[in-house]
Amino acid sequence: MSKKKLTLRDLTNREREEYAIAIHEAGHAVMAVVLGDEVGSVTLRPTTRPTPETAHSPPNGSPA
């Protein structure tokens, strides 16, 4: 039994927006690691802030 593959066209506008935000935040996390930072967390569902965020810190000895 084969199942139909899920595509972006199958998503609601809200789901597409959340997908785009997830890709955007993942990009922040990847670049932080590439630049030597440590990624502490990535959130897509804000609890205290109005927007998603990526929390990272520079390696020891680097300017903030």
Of 4-13, 25-34, 46-55, which range is least confident?
A: 46-55
pLDDT beyond 80 at 55: no
Beta bridge partner(s), residue 57: 38
Which tens digit of pLDDT belongs to each residue from 13-47? 988 888 888 898 899 889 989 988 888 888 777 65
Q: How far apart are CA 51 and CA 39, in angstroms?
A: 18
Q: Which two tokens stand for residue 49?
A: 């802030």
pTM listed for this prediction: 0.64
